[in-house]
Amino acid sequence: MERPSWDEYFMHMAELVATRSTCMRRQVGAVIVKDKRIITTGYNGAPKGIAHCDERGGCLREKLNIPSGERHELCLALHAEQNAIIQAATLAQSIEGSTIYVTHQPCVICAKMIINAGIRRIVVREGYPDELSIQLLEEAGLRVVRLREN
């Protein structure tokens, strides 16, 4: 019997979480894990009580031809990492010293939140075009571990 590694196991969970995403451009899932236990999950989508882009007639960033990795403030959605961190705060769960599994590399905004939340390890499946994010994470002593598909 061959079992997945812990990293693969939790990445599969992040991929499942991503299926709940309401983003029209990219479905992203995040799982925050501490001591091999899931603390919180998050996916990208509009804030509570706010209409999703498909209910508004499409993605504003698509309409404005904004490339990936730019002008995050023009997106109505919260990112998966943001939702997972917010959920931890809402539940009064410490995530300091945890690992975050994300289907895609964090953007610079999420990188700053991850640093300040005290998350110590980041595992991703796919990259994202945001070099400043990687620079900040490296300066903070965090390395992004990229898992390959099996």
DSSP labels for 22-33? --SS---EEEEE
Dist CA 101 CA 14 (whole Å): 6
Dist CA 28 CA 120 (whole Å): 20
Q: What are phi and psi of 63, to 5 degrees?
A: -60, -35
Residues with active-site annotation: 81
**Token pair belonging to 80:** 């998966």
**Token pair belonging to 31:** 């799982």
